[in-house]
Amino acid sequence: MIETLAPKAPDPLLKIIKMFREDPRTDKIDLGVGVYKDATGNTPVMRAVKDAEALLLAQQKTKTYVGQQGDVDFLRLVGQLAFGEMSRDFVSIQAVGGTGALRLGCDLLRESGAGRIALPQPCWPNHPAIVRAARLEPVEVPFFNIADQRIDMDTLIAGLARTGRGDAVILQACCHNPLGADFSLEQWKTLADALDARGVIPFVDLAYQGFGDGVDEDVAGARALLERVPEAVIAVSEAKSFGVYRERVGALYVKTAEKARAAAMSNLAAIARANYSMPPDHGAAIVREVLSDEALRASWREELDRIRAHIKRTRAALAAERVNSIPMHLIAAQKGMFSTLPLNEAQVTALREEHGIYMTDAARINVAGLREADIPRFVEALRAVA
Ligand SMILES: Cc1ncc(COP(=O)(O)O)c(C=O)c1O
C-alpha cells in the first residue's frame, strides 16, 4: 500500500532556502528564512538561555517523564507572561512548539463540535495545513490589502459570516507573519464584540511576544479580547521570544467556564496521549529557569530589547526610502520580523535571479534578515523591479 503513495510537494520555503544555498554570488541577500538574525547575520543562543542550560546540567537529577500536562511551572510562568492574572483561570497543556499547540487546539475544537476555522488572509502558510490535518475546514477570509498595506476590518467581520456558532477564527496576537500588520486595541475590541455576538471562538496564535513594541505591549490587544469573550483557545510559541527554535517550546491555553475546565483538560490530555504521549522537557525547562530567576529574567529582557531595537532600526531605515509603487513608509509602523511587499511573482523572480535577493514567492521579507550594509543595494534592486 505504501508504494501507492503520491509524492507531496515540498514546502515552497525549502525550495527558496535550497536555491539560496546553491547561489554562488557572494553578495546574495537572504530575506526568506523566518528566524531572527543579528547585525552579523547570525542567530545566536541568548545569554540567559545558555546560563539556564548550565544550571539545568548541574541540577537535573532525572530524565524520567514529565507529567501528562507538561511542566506546570513553565505553564504558569508563560501564562503569566502572556496573559497576566487572567491566566490563572485558563486550562493549559505543554505542546511541541507553537505548531503543536495549534494542532492540539484544532483537535480540541473539533472534539467540541467545530467544523470550520476562519483564516484571515494572507495567513501563516502552515495554518491551513494544520486545520486540515485536524479534519476541520479552513475558511479563507480576506482582511488585508497588500497594495496599500492596510487592515480592512469591515471585510474581515463580514467574512466571519461564513463561520457558525462553535467554529473558530485564528488571530495572530502580534507581529503578524507574513504581514507585520497588527490590530489596534480598538480593532481587537471590535473583533471581540463581533465574535461574541456570533458565538465564534477566537483562536489566538502568539508566536512573537516581545518582538513588536515590548513584552506587555505586544499582548495588550489579545488580553483585551480575552477579557471580553467567554471562551478562547490560545497557542503560544516561545521559539522566537527565547530563541529556542529547535527545542520546540510551546503551550496551549483554553479559556472556558469553570464547570467545563476539567473536561477540557481531560480532552487535551487524551489528544496529547494518543499523539506524542508526553511533551519534551529541555526547552520548557530553560524557559522556566529564565522566567523564575530574577537575574536570568533581566538578562533575557535586556537581550530581547536589543533584538526589538535592531528590527525597529531596520524598519525605520527601509521606511525612509522611496520606491515607486511600494508604500515604504508603512514598513516602520509594522511590527516584528515580517512584511509582505506588493510585488508579483515576476518581480520576486527578477529580484532573485538578477539581484541575488531571496524572499518567499508571496514577497514576504524577513526584515531581521537584512543587514544594515545591504539596505542600499536592496532598495536599488526594489527600484529596478517595482
Ligand atoms: C504565526 C506563527 N505561529 C506559530 C508558529 C509556530 O512556531 P513553532 O512551532 O516553531 O514554535 C510560527 C512559526 O514560524 C508562526 O510564524
Annotated catalytic, 300? no
Cα 384-315-21 angle, rounded to 5 deg: 60
Residue 41 has pLDDT above 90, yes or no: no
**Alpha-carbon gap, residue 356 to 57, rounded angstroms:** 43
Q: What is the pLDDT of residue 73?
A: 98
Residue 40 has pLDDT above 90, yes or no: no
Q: What is the pLDDT of residue 376?
A: 94
**Alpha-carbon gap, residue 72 to 74, rounded angstroms:** 5
Domain 2-45+295-385 has CATH 3.90.1150.10: yes
Q: Which grid coordinates are listed for 245?
A: 527554535
Question: Which residues have C-beta within 8 Å of that of residue 140, sequence separation ≥ 6?
Answer: 119, 121
State which ligand 1 atom lies nearest to the alpha carbon of 101.
9
Q: What is the pLDDT of residue 163?
A: 96
Distance 50 CA to ligand 1 centre (A): 22
* pLDDT single digits (tens) 178-191: 999 999 999 999 99
**Alpha-carbon gap, residue 318 to 238, rounded angstroms:** 28
Annotated catalytic, 240? yes
Nearest CA to ligand 1 atom 3: 207
Going from N- to C-terminal start, the domains of the chain cover 2-45+295-385, 49-294
More confident residue, 100 or 329: 100
- Kindly report whether the global pTM for this prediction surpasses the value 0.85: yes
Percent pLDDT > 70 in the chain is 100
Residue 10 has pLDDT above 90, yes or no: no
* pLDDT single digits (tens) 188-227: 999 999 999 999 999 999 999 999 999 999 999 999 999 9
Tell me the pLDDT band of 324, cut-offs 50, 70 and 90. confident
Residue appearing with cell numbers 486550562: 91
Nearest CA to ligand 1 atom 15: 207
Nearest CA to ligand 1 atom 14: 34
Q: Give the bridge partners for 116, in sequence order.
A: 137
- In angstroms, the Cα distances linking 367 to 32, 141, 179, 282, 308 are 9, 26, 11, 30, 11
Looking at every residue in the chain, the average pLDDT score rounds to 96
Alpha carbon 343 to its chain's center: 23
CATH code for the part of the protein at 49-294: 3.40.640.10
Residue 13 has pLDDT above 90, yes or no: no
Residues with CB under 6 A from ligand 1: 34, 97-99, 124, 172, 177, 205, 207, 237, 239, 245, 250
Annotated catalytic, 161? no
Residue among 6, 30, 93, 127 at smallest CA distance from 352: 30
Distance 207 CA to ligand 1 centre (A): 6
* pLDDT single digits (tens) 272-313: 999 999 999 999 999 999 999 999 999 999 999 999 999 999
Residue 247 has pLDDT above 90, yes or no: yes
Residue 39 has pLDDT above 90, yes or no: no
Q: What is the pLDDT of residue 325?
A: 82
* pLDDT single digits (tens) 50-87: 999 999 999 999 999 999 999 999 999 999 999 999 99
* pLDDT single digits (tens) 341-361: 999 999 999 999 999 999 999
